[in-house]
Chains A and B, each alone.
Chain A
Amino acid sequence: MTKEQIYQDLDEIFQDVFDDESIHVTEATIAADIEDWDSLEHINLVVAIENHFKIKFNMSEVTSMKNVGEMVAIIMERKA
Protein backbone atom coordinates (compact mmCIF):
# COMPACT_ATOMS: atom_id res chain seq x y z
CA MET A 1 0.00 0.00 0.00
CA THR A 2 1.51 3.32 -1.06
CA LYS A 3 1.56 6.49 1.00
CA GLU A 4 -0.69 8.13 -1.60
CA GLN A 5 -3.28 5.36 -1.26
CA ILE A 6 -3.23 5.71 2.52
CA TYR A 7 -3.81 9.47 2.29
CA GLN A 8 -6.66 8.88 -0.17
CA ASP A 9 -8.27 6.41 2.22
CA LEU A 10 -7.69 8.73 5.18
CA ASP A 11 -9.43 11.57 3.33
CA GLU A 12 -12.53 9.40 3.01
CA ILE A 13 -12.36 8.27 6.63
CA PHE A 14 -11.91 11.82 7.94
CA GLN A 15 -14.71 13.10 5.69
CA ASP A 16 -17.01 10.37 6.98
CA VAL A 17 -16.14 10.76 10.69
CA PHE A 18 -16.36 14.56 10.65
CA ASP A 19 -19.17 14.65 8.08
CA ASP A 20 -17.28 17.17 5.98
CA GLU A 21 -16.38 16.39 2.38
CA SER A 22 -14.08 19.39 2.14
CA ILE A 23 -11.50 17.78 4.45
CA HIS A 24 -8.23 16.76 2.80
CA VAL A 25 -5.51 15.72 5.22
CA THR A 26 -1.77 16.17 4.80
CA GLU A 27 1.14 15.00 6.90
CA ALA A 28 0.97 18.28 8.81
CA THR A 29 -2.74 18.07 9.67
CA ILE A 30 -3.37 18.26 13.43
CA ALA A 31 -6.49 18.20 15.58
CA ALA A 32 -6.63 21.99 15.76
CA ASP A 33 -7.08 22.12 11.97
CA ILE A 34 -10.44 20.37 12.12
CA GLU A 35 -13.09 22.11 14.18
CA ASP A 36 -14.90 18.99 15.44
CA TRP A 37 -11.77 16.98 16.28
CA ASP A 38 -12.29 16.71 20.04
CA SER A 39 -11.49 13.86 22.42
CA LEU A 40 -14.63 11.87 21.64
CA GLU A 41 -14.27 12.25 17.87
CA HIS A 42 -10.64 11.24 18.28
CA ILE A 43 -11.83 7.87 19.59
CA ASN A 44 -14.26 7.50 16.68
CA LEU A 45 -11.52 8.48 14.23
CA VAL A 46 -8.94 6.05 15.61
CA VAL A 47 -11.46 3.19 15.66
CA ALA A 48 -12.57 3.99 12.08
CA ILE A 49 -8.94 3.99 10.90
CA GLU A 50 -8.21 0.74 12.74
CA ASN A 51 -11.25 -0.96 11.22
CA HIS A 52 -10.45 0.27 7.72
CA PHE A 53 -6.78 -0.71 7.69
CA LYS A 54 -7.30 -3.75 9.97
CA ILE A 55 -4.59 -2.61 12.37
CA LYS A 56 -4.48 -1.68 16.05
CA PHE A 57 -2.68 1.33 17.49
CA ASN A 58 -1.15 0.75 20.90
CA MET A 59 -1.62 3.11 23.82
CA SER A 60 1.65 5.01 23.40
CA GLU A 61 0.93 5.53 19.71
CA VAL A 62 -2.55 6.88 20.39
CA THR A 63 -1.25 9.36 22.94
CA SER A 64 1.92 10.38 21.13
CA MET A 65 0.78 10.87 17.53
CA LYS A 66 1.25 14.57 16.87
CA ASN A 67 -0.07 14.82 13.32
CA VAL A 68 -1.50 12.79 10.46
CA GLY A 69 2.01 12.19 9.09
CA GLU A 70 2.94 10.21 12.20
CA MET A 71 -0.31 8.28 11.89
CA VAL A 72 0.49 7.41 8.28
CA ALA A 73 4.00 6.29 9.24
CA ILE A 74 2.52 3.81 11.74
CA ILE A 75 -0.03 2.56 9.20
CA MET A 76 2.70 2.03 6.60
CA GLU A 77 4.85 0.17 9.10
CA ARG A 78 1.97 -2.14 10.03
CA LYS A 79 0.93 -2.76 6.42
CA ALA A 80 4.50 -3.40 5.20
Chain B
Amino acid sequence: MNHYTFEEIKIGTTANFEYELTKQKMRQFQAITGDINPLHIDLNYAKEKGFKENVVYGMLTSAILSTLAGVYLPGEKSLIHSVEINFLKPVFLSQCPLKIEATVTEKDERFSQITVKYTICNQLAVKVCKGTMKIGFVK
Protein backbone atom coordinates (compact mmCIF):
# COMPACT_ATOMS: atom_id res chain seq x y z
CA MET B 1 0.00 0.00 0.00
CA ASN B 2 1.19 3.51 -0.79
CA HIS B 3 1.22 6.22 1.86
CA TYR B 4 1.47 9.40 -0.20
CA THR B 5 0.61 12.64 1.54
CA PHE B 6 -0.83 15.52 -0.49
CA GLU B 7 2.56 17.23 -0.36
CA GLU B 8 4.44 14.12 -1.52
CA ILE B 9 2.29 13.10 -4.46
CA LYS B 10 3.16 14.82 -7.74
CA ILE B 11 1.39 15.58 -10.99
CA GLY B 12 2.51 12.72 -13.21
CA THR B 13 2.66 10.12 -10.44
CA THR B 14 1.33 6.88 -11.92
CA ALA B 15 -0.03 3.51 -10.87
CA ASN B 16 -0.37 0.31 -12.92
CA PHE B 17 -1.80 -2.97 -11.75
CA GLU B 18 -3.99 -5.88 -12.80
CA TYR B 19 -7.45 -6.87 -11.64
CA GLU B 20 -8.62 -10.47 -11.98
CA LEU B 21 -12.32 -11.15 -12.38
CA THR B 22 -13.84 -14.61 -11.94
CA LYS B 23 -17.20 -16.39 -11.92
CA GLN B 24 -16.98 -16.44 -8.14
CA LYS B 25 -16.59 -12.66 -7.99
CA MET B 26 -19.59 -12.31 -10.33
CA ARG B 27 -21.67 -14.47 -7.97
CA GLN B 28 -20.45 -12.51 -4.94
CA PHE B 29 -21.30 -9.23 -6.62
CA GLN B 30 -24.78 -10.53 -7.44
CA ALA B 31 -25.25 -11.60 -3.81
CA ILE B 32 -24.13 -8.21 -2.48
CA THR B 33 -26.12 -6.05 -4.88
CA GLY B 34 -29.12 -8.19 -5.78
CA ASP B 35 -28.57 -7.39 -9.46
CA ILE B 36 -30.10 -10.44 -11.16
CA ASN B 37 -30.21 -8.95 -14.65
CA PRO B 38 -29.92 -11.96 -17.00
CA LEU B 39 -27.30 -10.28 -19.16
CA HIS B 40 -24.86 -11.01 -16.34
CA ILE B 41 -25.99 -14.48 -15.25
CA ASP B 42 -27.86 -16.22 -18.09
CA LEU B 43 -25.53 -17.28 -20.91
CA ASN B 44 -28.35 -18.04 -23.37
CA TYR B 45 -29.90 -14.65 -22.74
CA ALA B 46 -26.55 -12.90 -23.29
CA LYS B 47 -26.07 -14.82 -26.58
CA GLU B 48 -29.58 -13.92 -27.71
CA LYS B 49 -28.65 -10.29 -27.19
CA GLY B 50 -25.56 -10.64 -29.34
CA PHE B 51 -22.87 -11.18 -26.71
CA LYS B 52 -20.61 -14.21 -26.80
CA GLU B 53 -20.52 -14.46 -22.99
CA ASN B 54 -22.24 -12.97 -19.99
CA VAL B 55 -21.31 -9.33 -19.59
CA VAL B 56 -19.39 -8.52 -16.43
CA TYR B 57 -21.24 -6.09 -14.18
CA GLY B 58 -20.00 -2.62 -15.04
CA MET B 59 -20.01 -1.67 -11.40
CA LEU B 60 -17.90 -4.75 -10.60
CA THR B 61 -15.34 -3.58 -13.16
CA SER B 62 -15.40 -0.09 -11.67
CA ALA B 63 -15.18 -1.44 -8.12
CA ILE B 64 -11.42 -1.64 -8.66
CA LEU B 65 -11.38 2.16 -8.51
CA SER B 66 -11.73 1.77 -4.75
CA THR B 67 -8.38 -0.04 -4.77
CA LEU B 68 -6.85 2.46 -7.17
CA ALA B 69 -7.48 5.24 -4.67
CA GLY B 70 -7.28 3.33 -1.40
CA VAL B 71 -4.13 1.34 -2.13
CA TYR B 72 -2.24 3.12 -4.95
CA LEU B 73 -3.09 6.81 -5.52
CA PRO B 74 -2.68 8.07 -2.88
CA GLY B 75 -3.11 4.89 -0.83
CA GLU B 76 -3.68 4.87 2.91
CA LYS B 77 -4.74 8.52 3.21
CA SER B 78 -7.32 8.35 0.40
CA LEU B 79 -10.73 9.92 0.76
CA ILE B 80 -12.68 9.65 -2.52
CA HIS B 81 -14.66 12.79 -3.33
CA SER B 82 -16.10 11.90 -6.71
CA VAL B 83 -15.82 9.36 -9.50
CA GLU B 84 -16.63 9.71 -13.19
CA ILE B 85 -16.93 6.44 -15.11
CA ASN B 86 -17.34 5.88 -18.83
CA PHE B 87 -18.07 2.30 -19.88
CA LEU B 88 -16.62 2.03 -23.37
CA LYS B 89 -16.89 -1.69 -24.18
CA PRO B 90 -18.46 -4.75 -22.54
CA VAL B 91 -16.17 -6.75 -20.27
CA PHE B 92 -16.02 -10.57 -20.51
CA LEU B 93 -14.35 -12.92 -18.05
CA SER B 94 -12.40 -14.59 -20.89
CA GLN B 95 -10.64 -11.26 -21.53
CA CYS B 96 -9.53 -10.73 -17.93
CA PRO B 97 -7.49 -9.86 -15.94
CA LEU B 98 -8.05 -6.20 -16.60
CA LYS B 99 -5.19 -3.73 -16.55
CA ILE B 100 -5.55 -0.41 -14.77
CA GLU B 101 -3.38 2.56 -15.60
CA ALA B 102 -3.76 5.83 -13.74
CA THR B 103 -1.99 9.18 -13.50
CA VAL B 104 -2.29 12.16 -11.19
CA THR B 105 -3.19 15.02 -13.56
CA GLU B 106 -4.03 17.88 -11.18
CA LYS B 107 -3.40 18.99 -7.61
CA ASP B 108 -5.74 21.51 -6.03
CA GLU B 109 -3.84 23.01 -3.10
CA ARG B 110 -6.95 24.81 -1.87
CA PHE B 111 -8.80 21.62 -1.03
CA SER B 112 -5.86 19.19 -0.76
CA GLN B 113 -7.50 17.31 -3.61
CA ILE B 114 -5.94 15.42 -6.50
CA THR B 115 -7.44 14.52 -9.88
CA VAL B 116 -6.60 11.04 -11.15
CA LYS B 117 -7.31 9.99 -14.72
CA TYR B 118 -7.57 6.26 -15.30
CA THR B 119 -8.11 3.74 -18.05
CA ILE B 120 -9.03 0.08 -17.74
CA CYS B 121 -8.07 -2.28 -20.58
CA ASN B 122 -8.77 -5.95 -21.18
CA GLN B 123 -6.23 -8.61 -22.23
CA LEU B 124 -6.70 -7.60 -25.88
CA ALA B 125 -5.51 -4.11 -24.94
CA VAL B 126 -8.99 -2.76 -25.68
CA LYS B 127 -9.98 0.15 -23.49
CA VAL B 128 -13.17 -0.89 -21.68
CA CYS B 129 -13.51 1.90 -19.15
CA LYS B 130 -12.05 5.33 -18.50
CA GLY B 131 -12.71 8.33 -16.33
CA THR B 132 -11.63 10.69 -13.62
CA MET B 133 -11.53 10.59 -9.84
CA LYS B 134 -11.28 13.47 -7.38
CA ILE B 135 -9.57 12.30 -4.22
CA GLY B 136 -8.90 14.07 -0.94
CA PHE B 137 -6.66 13.11 1.97
CA VAL B 138 -7.49 12.12 5.52
CA LYS B 139 -5.54 14.16 8.04
Contact = CB atoms under 8 A, between A and B. Distances in A.
Nearest to A40: B81
Contact count band on A: under 10
Interface of B: 81-82, 109-111, 113, 134, 136
Contacts of A76: none
B81 A59 contact: no
Q: Which 3 A-B pairs have the closest CB atoms?
A: A62-B110, A59-B110, A43-B111
A18 interface: no
Nearest to A59: B110
- Most chain B beta-carbon neighbours within 10 Å: one of A57, A62, A63: A62
Contacts, number: 17
B110 A57 contact: yes
A43 B109 CA distance: 12
A62 B113 CA distance: 14
15 contacts: A40-B81, A40-B136, A43-B81, A43-B111, A43-B113, A43-B134, A43-B136, A44-B82, A46-B110, A46-B111, A57-B110, A58-B110, A59-B110, A62-B111, A63-B110
A58 B82 CA distance: 22
Interface string A27-57: 0000000000000100110100000000001
A49 to B, nearest CB: 13
A63 to B, nearest CB: 8
Contacts of B113: 43
B138 to A, nearest CB: 12
Contacts of B136: 40, 43
Nearest to B112: A43
A20 to B, nearest CB: 19
